[in-house]
Amino acid sequence: MTGRVDHAVVLQGASLLLQYPDAAWRGRLDTVLAALRDLPPGPPRDGLLRFVRRGAATPAGELEQHYVEVFDRKRRCCMHLTWWTDGETRRRGMSLARLKALYRGYGFELQGGELPDFLPVVLEFGAQGDVAAGLALLQEHRAGLELLRLALLDVATPYADVVTAVCGLLPGASPQDEAAARALARTGPPGESVGLEAYSPSGGRRDLGLTPLEPTGVRR
C-alpha cells in the first residue's frame, strides 16, 4: 500500500475502530467499510476489514464489555503511548505537553478531554493533520505500539487486527516477540514507576480506571 491518501484512510479507520464501540461507533461502520473497500489489497486493509466485519456481527453489549475488559482492565493493553515509555512519571507530563504543541503547530486542538497520547487521537492527527508527521510520531513510539500489538495478540482479541494494521504502515517488519519489541526502545525505562520494564510475560495486571472516550479527537 502506497500513497498518503491510502495511509490516511487506514489511520482514520483505525482511529475510529479503536474508540469505544457505542451506538455512534456502530453508526460509522458502514462509512469505514466503504472507505476501506476502495483501498488496494494489502495486510493493513485486510486486517481492518476483518475487524469491521467481526465487530458488526458481534452484539453491541458483548463488544462494549469486551472493550472495557481489554483496554480498561488490562495494564498490558494500554493505548496511551507515552505511558509505555515514560510511565507515571513527571517526564510523561512533558511528553504530553510536547504532543499538544505538535498538534497545535498543525492547527489542531484537542476536544472532549482526551489525552494527546491516546492512540486513536494520534491516528486521527495523522489522518486529518499530516500523514508524514503522524507516521513519524507512531514510529517514535514504535516500541510501545508493538508491545501493545503483542499484548492484544496474547489475549486473543480481534482488536489485534487493528493495531497490526497500523504497525503495517511503518518501516521494517514488526517484532515477533516481546524481547524484540523492547529492543526498539530508544531509552531505558524510567525508575519512578512503570514504563516499559513493567511488562514481563508474567507481570500482573491492574485496573487503570480508564474511561471510554468520546469519538472526537483532534479538530481544527
Distances 184 to 62, 77, 147, 167, 207 between C-alpha atoms, Å: 35, 18, 10, 13, 27
Please report the pLDDT score of residue 2 as a whole number.
59
Q: Domain spans of the chain?
A: 4-185
Q: Which residue has the cell 514504535?
A: 142
96: number of Cβ within 10 Å: 17
Tell me which of 54-68, 77-91, 157-171 is least confident.
77-91
pLDDT, tens digit, 9 for 90 and up, residues 5-47: 899 999 999 999 999 999 999 999 999 999 999 999 999 999 9
**pTM of this structure:** 0.81
Please report the pLDDT score of residue 193 as a whole number.
36
Question: 3-class SS at 218?
Answer: strand
Question: What mean pLDDT, rounded, does the chain reach?
Answer: 82
Say how many Å lie between the first and final Cα of the chain, rounded.
Answer: 28
CA distance 21 to 86: 28
The arithmetic mean of pLDDT across residues 67-95, rounded, is 87
pLDDT, tens digit, 9 for 90 and up, residues 123-141: 999 999 899 999 999 998 9
> Considering Cα of 119, then 124, then 125, then 127, what sign does the dihedral take?
positive
C-beta separation of 117 from 81 below 8 A? yes
DSSP symbol at 118? B
Output 163 or 215, whichever has higher pLDDT: 163
pLDDT, tens digit, 9 for 90 and up, residues 188-217: 333 333 334 333 332 322 222 222 333 344
For 219, phi then psi, to 5°, come to -140, 145
C-beta separation of 169 from 14 below 8 A? no
Please report the pLDDT score of residue 176 as a whole number.
78
Please report the pLDDT score of residue 110 as a whole number.
86
Please report the pLDDT score of residue 175 as a whole number.
80
Amino acid symbol at 143: A
C-beta separation of 82 from 117 below 8 A? yes
The arithmetic mean of pLDDT across residues 59-74, rounded, is 95
Residue 164's nearest CA partner among 192, 145, 143 is 145
